[in-house]
């Protein structure tokens, strides 16, 4: 029990530690500290411009007055000085000072021959050491408290600045007087204290606020991050179908989640493909290999056999196996998207013209009518080689499986290029052959899938999955649907069995700015 | 022809060297790029056959160094890497042809012999003839026995390629790569049909068949039997 609690508290503290270490926590805190610093700098500036300046003015006044009093002493000696200060001093002159009532004076005769002037009880000790102007504090009994000096509550703490000067007799060089001239700055100091008090409180509140804001923002941050981490852990543990939940707020976390999810989709697709391949390798490659092995074995065991014939029979089998492996490798490489270097603007119309020109004689020989319908189409970004290969595979496929079995119907293959609504281009190959039932349409795109009736024909079963890979490589969409009507006279839409097979690749529009670049490049060239 | 084979796989090399010697060529074989470079520097070869991935110095680097030194001996790369980008890098390194493993020996032989022929100044020749078949590249005309034969543009390019390699075996893949510029294998026998069309135009009404099928390899254009 106790152990558990300890464990929990450890967990709690490690969670807090984690929170403190998050970027958002640090960021909020640093922002607030910078805010406090800037407020401090601003306040310092305001202080200098107001209170600082006012005090500075008083210092100047004091310096001037001390200098003036020195001249008075030189001209009129101690008695003159005594008279002038007496007039200015508020305590000595009962009718009030000619100067402000804030002006404070002390005049002491070291020999005590004459009565001193004392607005203050003593010269503050900080002023005795130098002739600089110093800030000091003193106690003053408030007007109402004159009768009760000892009551500390009635004693008021006040502030002043002042400068001291010793006066020497010019002839005897004896010190004859000490003058202290001061101004009361209690009001200024009170304002200053209040301001710095406000500043300190504000900094404290800001700091606490920063901690709270940072705590909550990092908690939200961590919660979102934990979603990502949990998903990653689940996937590492083997649940490939797991995806990062999106909040729907459309923020950068959603963007990250979306990107990671689409990456995971791609990985899952590759994994599934991989699994399918290994399943199908077992299924489809094992049989030709077994066949070759059996043939070789029987050639060795049977006494009267023509080795040359056996070998000649075997070579095409091996070639077909190699072709299958090559196709698999190509698909894998296309799907891994390795070949971005080969993307260029491609004129689909010209490309289809070239490929159909290559296939036209073979189509005629095989008894197909090859219709080519080319409409002006914007260029697409892609690889000429790959798109040509996709079209070649589709034509190979149509030759192989698209032959109509109907009497009196001419076997026809139609290749079409058309602009796509909303940009991009469409390329399709349709036949009027037996077609594929809607249930099987998606399935024929998978690797090694050959529908039962076509198992007897040659072919790796990889042609269409390569087309799929090529379409995906171009960010295109491959769709399998009805092709040309099987009978000219009775075609109705509601009977899919009345149509051959049609396979269409939709290419996305090429990125505009890239095309602009290429156009400019061409003009220059 | 004197051929330098640079290939580190002993089995593959033995098979290759044996085949080339049987075809009447003199062959030197080394197993790494550095030795290959030394051998090539001594000169005297009509063609190089270089494996792309070699110990010590890879095939691309070896050929690049030779090309920098001004050596223009035609070279063929052998490689297990067969994608478009791989071919491009092979050609950029100075290769003249690129063959993807595994390959049929007949394919390699045909390509090596075609390379050897490339050295001859036939590239600037504008007139070719095989037997009584004549081709003029500039006026784009073809005559046989003085009679004009009309060819489609692609048929003309096909015949031109065959004429440039007259007497040699030309494989279907070579035709697909050089006449149509595709590097994939169509499953349909598209090339055979084009050849038979061409044959119908240049051989049909004549006693001597110039465009012959070489079983298991490809085609050859020649007036010898």
Residue A415 is predicted with a pLDDT of 95
**Chain B residues with CB-CB distance to A385 below 8 A:** 84, 182-184
- Residue where a domain stops, chosen among A309, A335, A361: A335
User: Do the beta carbons of residue A483 and residue A431 sit within 8 Å?
Assistant: yes
Q: Could you report the per-residue pLDDT of A13-70, keeping only the tens digit for each?
A: 677 777 777 777 888 888 888 888 888 898 888 888 888 888 888 889 888 988 888 8
> Is A351 within a domain?
yes
Candidates B187, B189, B192, B195: best to mutate against A (most CBs of A within 10 A) is B187
Q: Per the CB < 8 Å rule, is B83 touching A358?
A: no
Q: Which helix (H) or strand (E) holds A384?
A: helix A384-401
B127 and chain A in contact, CB less than 8 A = no
Q: Return residues 173-212 of B near A (CB < 8 Å).
A: 180, 182-190, 193-194, 197
B98 vs A334 pLDDT, higher one: B98
Closest Cβ–Cβ partner in B83, B186, B190 for A339: B83
Q: In what order do the strands lie in the sheet with B127-130?
A: B127-130, B133-136, B141-144, B147-149
> What does the pLDDT average to over B104-111?
88
Same domain? B172 vs B212: yes
Question: What is d(CA A450, CA A437) in angstroms, rounded to the nearest whole number?
Answer: 13
A308 and chain B in contact, CB less than 8 A = no
Domain that holds residue A484: 340-516
pLDDT surpassing 70 at residue A91: no
Domains in chain B, number: 2
pTM of the entire predicted model: 0.62
User: Do the beta carbons of residue A315 and residue A321 sit within 8 Å?
Assistant: no
Q: Per the CB < 8 Å rule, is A383 touching B84?
A: yes
Same domain? A127 vs A258: no
Same domain? B195 vs B211: yes
CATH of the domain at B113: 3.40.50.2300
Highest-confidence range of A336-350, A435-449, A496-510, by mean pLDDT? A496-510
CATH of the domain at A53: 3.30.450
Q: Per the CB < 8 Å rule, is A342 touching B187?
A: no
Question: What is d(CA A345, CA A134) in angstroms, rounded to the nearest whole number?
Answer: 83
Highest-confidence range of A72-86, A300-314, B195-209, by mean pLDDT? B195-209
> What does the pLDDT average to over A265-283?
75
Q: Dihedral, CA atoms, A356, A358, A360, A366, nearest 10 degrees? A: -120
Same domain? A270 vs A397: no
Question: pLDDT band at A95, cuts 50/70/90?
Answer: very low
Same domain? B136 vs B37: no
Candidates A361, A368, A392, A431: best to mutate against B (most CBs of B within 10 A) is A361
**Chain A residues with CB-CB distance to B102 below 8 A:** 322
Closest Cβ–Cβ partner in A341, A395, A400 for B85: A341
Residue A295 is predicted with a pLDDT of 86
pLDDT surpassing 50 at residue A197: yes
Question: What is d(CA A147, CA A207) in angstroms, rounded to the nearest whole number?
Answer: 48
Q: Could you report the per-residue pLDDT of A120-142, keeping only the tens digit for each?
A: 777 787 777 777 888 888 877 65
User: Do the beta carbons of residue B212 and residue B222 sit within 8 Å?
Assistant: yes
A395 and chain B in contact, CB less than 8 A = yes
The residue of chain A nearest to residue B198, with distances taken between CA atoms, is: A361
Candidates A343, A358, A368: best to mutate against B (most CBs of B within 10 A) is A358
Domain that holds residue B106: 2-118
**Chain B residues with CB-CB distance to A388 below 8 A:** 182, 184
Q: Which of A280, A317, A339 is nearest to A461 (CA)?
A: A280
Q: Which helix (H) or strand (E) holds A211?
A: helix A186-236
Question: What is d(CA A18, CA A217) in angstroms, rounded to the nearest whole number?
Answer: 13
Same domain? A295 vs A414: no
Same domain? A95 vs A158: yes
CATH of the domain at B202: 1.10.10.10
Same domain? A160 vs A268: no
> What does the pLDDT average to over A372-385?
90
**Chain B residues with CB-CB distance to A322 below 8 A:** 102
Same domain? B9 vs B108: yes
A357 and chain B in contact, CB less than 8 A = yes
**Chain A residues with CB-CB distance to B83 below 8 A:** 330, 333, 338-339
């Amino acid at each position: 029990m106790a152990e558990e609690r300890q464990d929990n508290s450890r967990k709690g503290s490690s969670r807090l530690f984690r929170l403190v270490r998050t970027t958002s926590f640090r960021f909020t805190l640093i922002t607030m500290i910078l805010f406090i610093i800037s407020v401090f700098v601003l306040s310092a500036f305001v202080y200098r411009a107001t209170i600082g300046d006012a005090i500075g003015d008083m210092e100047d006044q004091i310096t001037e007055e001390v200098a003036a009093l020195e001249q008075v002493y030189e001209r009129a000696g101690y008695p003159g000085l005594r008279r002038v200060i007496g007039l200015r001093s508020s305590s000595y002159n009962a009718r009030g000072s000619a100067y402000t009532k804030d002006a404070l004076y002390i005049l002491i005769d070291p020999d005590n021959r004459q009565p001193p002037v004392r607005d203050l009880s003593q010269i503050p000790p900080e002023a005795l050491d130098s002739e600089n102007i110093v800030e000091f504090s003193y106690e003053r009994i408030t007007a109402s408290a004159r009768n009760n000096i000892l009551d500390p509550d009635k004693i008021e703490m006040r502030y002043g600045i002042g400068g001291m000067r010793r006066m020497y007799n010019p002839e005897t060089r004896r010190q004859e007087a000490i003058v202290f001239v001061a101004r009361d700055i209690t009001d200024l100091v009170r304002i200053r204290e209040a301001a710095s008090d406000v500043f300190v409180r504000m900094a404290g509140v800001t700091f606490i606020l920063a901690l709270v804001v940072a705590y909550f923002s990092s908690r939200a941050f961590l919660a979102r991050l934990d979603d990502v981490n949990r998903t990653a852990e689940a996937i590492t543990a083997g649940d490939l179908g797991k995806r990062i939940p999106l909040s729907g707020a459309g923020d950068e976390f959603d963007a990250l989640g979306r990107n990671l999810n689409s990456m995971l989709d791609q990985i899952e697709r590759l994994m599934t493909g991989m699994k399918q391949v290994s399943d199908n390798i077992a299924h489809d490659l094992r049989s030709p290999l077994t066949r070759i092995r059996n043939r070789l074995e029987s050639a060795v065991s049977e006494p009267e056999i023509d080795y040359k014939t056996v070998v000649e029979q075997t070579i095409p089998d091996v070639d077909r196996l190699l072709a299958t492996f090559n196709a698999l490798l190509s698909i894998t490489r296309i799907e891994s998207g390795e070949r971005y270097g080969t993307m260029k603007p491609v004129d689909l119309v010209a490309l289809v013209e070239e490929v159909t020109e290559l296939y036209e004689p073979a189509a005629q020989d095989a008894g197909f009518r090859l219709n080519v319908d080319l409409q002006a189409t914007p260029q697409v970004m892609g690889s000429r080689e790959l798109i040509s290969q996709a079209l070649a595979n589709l034509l190979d496929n149509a030759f192989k499986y698209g032959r109509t079995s109907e009497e009196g119907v001419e076997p026809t293959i139609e290749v079409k290029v058309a602009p796509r609504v909303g940009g991009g281009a469409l390329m399709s190959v349709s036949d009027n052959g037996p077609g594929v039932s809607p249930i099987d349409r998606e399935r024929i795109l998978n690797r090694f899938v050959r529908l039962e009736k076509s198992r007897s024909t040659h072919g790796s079963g990889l042609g269409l999955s390569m087309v799929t890979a090529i379409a995906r490589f171009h960010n295109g969409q491959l769709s399998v649907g009805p092709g040309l009507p099987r009978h000219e006279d009775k075609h109705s839409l509601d009977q899919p069995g009345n149509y051959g097979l049609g396979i269409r690749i939709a290419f996305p529009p090429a990125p505009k700015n890239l095309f602009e670049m290429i156009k400019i490049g061409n003009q220059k060239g | 022809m004197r051929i330098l084979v640079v290939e580190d796989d002993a089995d593959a090399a033995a098979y290759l060297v044996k085949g080339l010697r049987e075809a009447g060529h003199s062959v030197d074989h080394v197993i790494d790029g550095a030795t290959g470079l030394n051998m090539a520097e001594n000169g005297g070869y009509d063609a190089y056959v270089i494996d792309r991935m070699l110990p010590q110095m890879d095939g691309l680097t070896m050929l690049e160094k030779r090309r920098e030194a001004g050596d223009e001996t035609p070279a063929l790369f052998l490689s297990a890497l067969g994608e478009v980008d791989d071919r491009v890098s092979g050609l950029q390194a100075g290769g003249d042809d690129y063959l993807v493993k595994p390959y049929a020996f007949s394919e390699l032989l045909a390509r090596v012999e075609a390379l050897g022929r490339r050295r001859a100044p036939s590239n600037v020749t504008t007139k070719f003839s095989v037997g009584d078949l004549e081709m003029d590249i500039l006026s784009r005309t073809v005559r046989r026995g003085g009679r004009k034969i009309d060819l489609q543009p692609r048929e003309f390019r096909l015949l031109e390629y065959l004429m440039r390699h007259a007497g040699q075996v030309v494989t279907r893949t070579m035709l697909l790569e050089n006449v149509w510029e595709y590097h994939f294998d169509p499953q349909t026998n598209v090339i055979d049909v084009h050849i038979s069309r061409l044959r119908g135009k240049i051989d049909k009404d004549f006693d001597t068949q110039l465009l012959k099928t070489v079983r298991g390899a490809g085609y050859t254009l020649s007036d010898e039997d």
